[in-house]
Structure 1
Amino acid sequence: MTGEDDHELAASLAAHAGQLLLDIRVQGGAEGDRQSNELLLRLLAQERPEDAVLSEESTDDPARLQNRRVWIVDPLDGTREYGEPPREDWAVHVALTVDGQPAAGAVGLPAIGLVLHTGEPPDLPVRPSGPIRLAVSRTRPSACADSLVARLGADLVPMGSAGAKAMAVVRGAVDVYAHSGGQYEWDSCAPVAVAAAAGLHVSRLDGSPLRYNNPDPYLPDLLICRPELSDAVLGALRAVGPEAAR
């Protein structure tokens, strides 16, 4: 990996972690979380020793708040789906923030052999005609989904992890991913980096900017959608106010 720029490094890290996760999938989600995290931390320490890291699977080190460059990683996004082979809707998130903004990122979808990253942003496919397609949790659709169905006539498309849902928008399989009810920075940072690089709208549900490397990494809501739909989606969410963010 030595010599790779930040975009290439993010993609390489996601690919390496994804391959490891495929190799050990029979060992289950807890072991996948642990081993993927160990691999990512070791490679980041080797390749970017001066940078800080915030990982879902590691104890938070407040020293990251003094560093301009912070890698935010989710070693296994969608532990439940990973533990239910042959499900494909799980991911690996690797992102670099600089001064609180995503600067590079990659989302690996190992089960389909794909890594989407900011070094080579994917082209956004043409949207087909028909109702807006909204990615939602297959087990716990959030309140904002009800609002979008009621006000925009959206069709729900259930799927697993946050990364899988966000990348479904990037890949053109759905049009909107709106989440309310709780997430952390590692759930959205890499997907937001990739989605923004691909030309998608990214924000909080109220339209405000997403900021990372905060003292409290809780970042409860998220909107990723096609740019031509952003006004309609934000308008529908604002019409119901705070209830949409529950």
Structure 2
Amino acid sequence: MTAAHDLSHELSVASGVAREAGALLQAHLRAGFTVEHKTSADDPVTVADREASTLIMTALAAAFPDDGLLSEEETDDRARLNHDRVWIVDPIDGTREYSTGLPDYCVSIGLAVGGQPVLGVVYAPETDELFTGVVGQGAFLNGQPVPAPHSGPDWRIAVSDTEHRRELHATPLSGMKPSGSIALKLARIAAAQADATFTMSPRSEWDIAAGHALLRAAGGDLTRRDGRAITYNQPRPHVEQGLIGGQPRAAAWLGDQLRALHLPTAHLGVQAHEPAWSVLKPADRAALQGHPGVNVRHADGQLLALLIVHPDTRQVQRAEGDAFHLDRLTRDVTRALGTVSVGTVAVGAVQS
């Protein structure tokens, strides 16, 4: 497999620049900074994000000039689509935690080859934990091999603190441990500090590429909530639905629990060939086929909210669902697309 190639130089460069970026982040914390927001209060950004991104991208470009680059904080250079090897970077995963003085943030640097995550480096500056790994060669924490996975059955489930605060706190799922950065969640699962994770909302490639590589290096995996694989370096670098992953036995148990509890997930831009299409009523399946702006929130075959957005104007053409699920879906669409305009579209219950 591709990951069996010698990536020791790549791992060394990525590890070194991750530590440099971590030092820069801590320097900004000491000096103070202003917090801005991209699409909403849930999507903060700081000068530290931008400077760390510049530092990392400059170093990677100098060391690997023939590779593609993708960072959350840089204008997307579509030339990356012509590269088999692409570095996928989040200079701060967990900016909300970072900007509010919480320790649950990290620097995340992943390498995808042929669309597959093969190398991951996640550095947590507050705890000085450097998680590194190459698929086929194992995962390490501060240079030491990670322990064997937890054997259960008391599985430790890492969940989003935001999702836990808004709705998961009322869910009878045992073993939930809320935290911020998903990259750090995946790294900690790879290091046997937790066992599995899932999200209700979509994530972007830069959020998960490094952590996914670490998880694979440690014998686990990460997929979409509907079980389909994740391929990186896509034209639109966003995974359009919630995720589930972890060590195999824990992830299998978790999948059974999510289905039994009917826990929702969003699916943005759902298409006719995808499982979530079946939650639409038959008339909509016929009328909306090929429409790129069909967004749903669903659970176990039941449609909870529907938001149809014009792909060019971002005008909401139709909105259905109860207030809570429609609000969650609207937040997910806004974060993925930017502001959407509801205009005079009526919002009502999902029609059966």
Please classify the TM superposition score into its range, dividing by the shorter chain length: 0.7 to 0.9
Matched, 1:118 2:133: yes
Matched, 1:52 2:75: no
Point out the structure with the larger helix share.
1
The CA distance in 1 between the partners of 2:90 and 2:149, in whole Å, is 30
Report the 3-state secondary structure (helix = DSSP H, G, I; strand = E; otherwise coil) of the residue aligned with 2:264. Answer: helix
Q: Structure 1 residues 142 and 70, CA, compared in 2 at 3 Å: closer, same or farther? A: farther
The CA distance in 1 between the partners of 2:64 and 2:242, in whole Å, is 30
Matched, 1:132 2:155: yes
Cα distance per residue 1:60-95 (max 9 Å; x no partner): 11111111111100011111111222x221011101
Normalised TM-score (structure 2): 0.62
The residue type paired with residue 48 of structure 2 is G
Matched, 1:165 2:152: no
The CA distance in 2 between the partners of 1:143 and 1:178, in whole Å, is 15
Residue 36 of structure 1, CA deviation: 0.2
Greater radius of gyration (CA):
2
Aligned match of 2:56: 40
The CA distance in 1 between the partners of 2:14 and 2:104, in whole Å, is 20
Candidates 213, 230, 239, aligned match of 1:193: 213
Q: Counterparts of 1:153-232 in structure 2 under 5 Å?
A: 153-219=173-239, 220-232=241-253
- Does the 8 Å contact 2:242/2:265 carry over to 1? no
Candidates 10, 13, 16, aligned match of 1:12: 16
Normalised TM-score (structure 1): 0.86
Matched, 1:25 2:23: no
Aligned match of 1:70: 86
Report the 3-state secondary structure (helix = DSSP H, G, I; strand = E; otherwise coil) of the residue aligned with 1:213. Answer: coil
The CA distance in 2 between the partners of 1:161 and 1:32, in whole Å, is 16
Point out the structure with the larger strand share.
2
The CA distance in 1 between the partners of 2:108 and 2:212, in whole Å, is 10
Cα distance per residue 1:144-184 (max 9 Å; x no partner): 9589x54xx42221111112222232233322111121210
Matched, 1:236 2:268: no
- Does the 8 Å contact 1:75/1:92 carry over to 2? yes
- Does the 8 Å contact 1:72/1:94 carry over to 2? yes
The CA distance in 1 between the partners of 2:246 and 2:16, in whole Å, is 26
Q: Structure 1 residues 142 and 8, CA, compared in 2 at 3 Å: closer, same or farther? A: farther
Aligned match of 2:327: none
Which structure carries more relative contact order (alpha carbon 8 Å, separation 6+)? 1
Aligned match of 2:325: none
Count of residues in Structure 1 that have an aligned counterpart in Structure 2: 240
Identity of aligned residues (%): 32
Report the 3-state secondary structure (helix = DSSP H, G, I; strand = E; otherwise coil) of the residue aligned with 2:126. Answer: helix
User: What's the Cα RMSD here?
Assistant: 2.6
Could you tell me which runs of 5 or more consecutive residues in structure 1 were left unpaired when the two chains were aligned: none
Bigger shift: residues 138-147 or 163-172: 138-147
Residue 238 of structure 1, CA deviation: 4.6
The residue type paired with residue 87 of structure 2 is W
Cα distance per residue 1:202-223 (max 9 Å; x no partner): 2222222111000111113222
Report the 3-state secondary structure (helix = DSSP H, G, I; strand = E; otherwise coil) of the residue aligned with 1:210. Answer: coil
Matched, 1:101 2:116: yes
